[in-house]
């Protein structure tokens, strides 16, 4: 069975949590595509290498780094994600993963619009900038006002980049998690997937 679930949305909207839950619930493989960009950003910064070279030489070890969930890694990801050659280098990897036998869930920012426009299910998970900044602050700490400023700056970068900007696919179902519990958001996503699963 080839069955792709594309879950897009801005930082800290809950798409990663929802994606992992959906993958577990339906026995699908899961790829956090943001981790690819985080790994490229961190690798390029740590080695002083060109981001395109870092993308072309990604290893499983790069994707297993403990520091990929930091605020710094997120900022680095957003900066390398605007480079068209980096996006191209990671495109085939993501598409191959999406069409693997047994089905897959991919979460990111351009899955439903660019990576897998033919995905059987497209979800766009969002929340207000204030709610997302608070969630990120709970995760990483620091100055709350600074975290909000960084969330807004990242939104601006992601939504206005020339190549594959963050936006919902035309036929994506939007899930606003601003006032939802994790359980409610997961249930909403699972209901959409269950309605489209073949037989």
Task: Cite the annotated binding site by residue number.
Answer: 9-17
For 63, counting Cβ atoms within 10 Å of its Cβ (0-12 exposed, 13-18 middle, 19+ buried), the class is middle
Q: Could you list the residues known to form a binding site for ATP, using ranges.
A: 9-17
Q: Say if CB 159 and CB 166 are below 8 A apart.
A: yes
């Amino acid at each position: 069975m080839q069955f792709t679930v594309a879950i897009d949305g801005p930082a800290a909207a809950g798409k990663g949590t929802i994606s992992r839950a959906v993958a577990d619930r339906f026995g699908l493989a899961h790829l956090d595509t943001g981790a690819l960009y985080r790994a490229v950003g961190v690798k390029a910064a740590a080695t002083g290498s060109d981001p395109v070279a870092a993308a072309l030489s990604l290893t499983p070890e790069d994707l297993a780094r403990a520091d990929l969930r930091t605020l710094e890694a997120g900022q680095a990801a957003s900066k390398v994600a605007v480079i068209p050659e980096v996006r191209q280098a990671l495109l085939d990897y993501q598409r191959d993963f999406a069409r693997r036998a047994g089905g897959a869930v991919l979460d990111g920012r351009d899955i439903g619009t660019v990576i897998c426009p033919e995905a059987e299910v497209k979800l766009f998970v969002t929340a207000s900038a204030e709610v997302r900044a608070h969630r990120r602050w709970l995760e990483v700490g620091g100055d709350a006002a600074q975290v909000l400023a960084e969330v807004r700056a990242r939104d601006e970068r992601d939504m206005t980049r020339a190549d594959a900007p963050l936006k919902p696919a035309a036929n994506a179902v939007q899930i606003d998690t601003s006032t939802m519990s994790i359980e409610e958001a997961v249930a909403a996503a699972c209901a959409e997937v269950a309605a489209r699963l073949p037989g």
